Each structure stands twice: as structure tokens, then as C-alpha cells.
Amino acid sequence: MEDRTERHQRWVSALRWTARVWSVASVGLVLGFIVGEGFNPSGPNEWLGVLLFPVGISVGMILAWWKEGLGGAITVGSLVAFYVVHLTTAGTFPKGWAWLAFAAPGFLFLLSSHLSRRPRMGAA
């Protein structure tokens, strides 16, 4: 019979690998769009948006393979900043669910990082 620690470790490992596989798919799909559709931002606002999504999100997901917390934070932070920039410049949030789906591995990396931390030994 496995104990709680082993079950927890298996669950965190499954979460980590789900985030990794999904991040490869997300980055690959973004690269496919860039290659297929071209890359042609027209002004400073679009360049800022591109810096956040897909560049910031992709860099965060790649970094998360080694540093889950940092990479996940960069991914989620880039997504939030992208939404803020889009709202500020276009007057509306980006439409559709795909923006969140592309960045979802960042949330999973953050959760995996949080769950894999060891409990701190504090003064009792």
C-alpha cells in the first residue's frame, strides 16, 4: 500500500509532465502560426503585444522545464500583461479562449512548483 507521500509525488509528477507536454504543443503551435502566417507587427503597440504573447509566454514555458516556479510566473505574468496591454490599446480584452489555452501550461507549472515544495520547518 502506498502512502500519502508517494501518491502526492505521483500526482505532482503527472501534473508536471502534463504541463511539459502541453507547453511543447503550445510553443510548437505558436511557431507554426508564425511560420505559416508570417510575422509582421505594424506598430509599437503590436510589437509590445508580440513581446508578451507569444515571446514572453514561450520563454516562460521553456524556462519552466528547469525552473517551474519562475517559468510559470513569467508565462502567467506575460499573459496578464498582454491582456492589460490589449485592453489599454484596443479597448477590449482579446476575444476567444485560445489565448488562455496557449498559456495554460504556465498555470500548471506554478501549481506543480507550489505542490512540490517541501514543508518548512518552523518554530512550533
Q: Name the pTM for this structure.
A: 0.89
**pLDDT > 80? residue 112:** yes
88: containing domain: 4-115
**Could you give the residue ranges of the DSSP H alpha helices within 38-118?**
44-50, 57-63, 68-90, 98-116
Residues 74, 63 contacting (CB under 8 angstroms): yes
The total of structural domains in the chain comes to 1
- Residue 107: what pLDDT? 98
Contact between 62 and 54 (Cβ < 8 Å): no
Look at residue 44 and tell me if it is in a domain.
Answer: yes
| Residue 38, in any domain of the structure | yes
Write out pLDDT tens, residues 21-75: 999 999 999 999 889 988 788 889 889 989 999 999 999 999 999 999 999 999 9
pLDDT value at residue 42:
87
Q: Is 53 inside a domain boundary?
A: yes
Residue 124 lies in a domain: no
Quick one: pLDDT band at residue 121, thresholds 50, 70, 90? low
Name the amino acid, one letter, at 33: F
Return the percentage of the chain with pLDDT > 90, whole number: 73
Sign, Cα dihedral of 54, 17, 76, 113: negative
1, pLDDT greater than 60: no
Closest CA to 105 of 55, 71, 56: 71
Whether 57 contacts 106, CB under 8 Å? yes
Q: What is the mean pLDDT of the chain?
A: 91
What confidence score (pLDDT) does residue 80 get?
Answer: 97
Residue 120 is assigned to a structural domain of this protein: no
Grid cell, residue 56, equals: 514572453
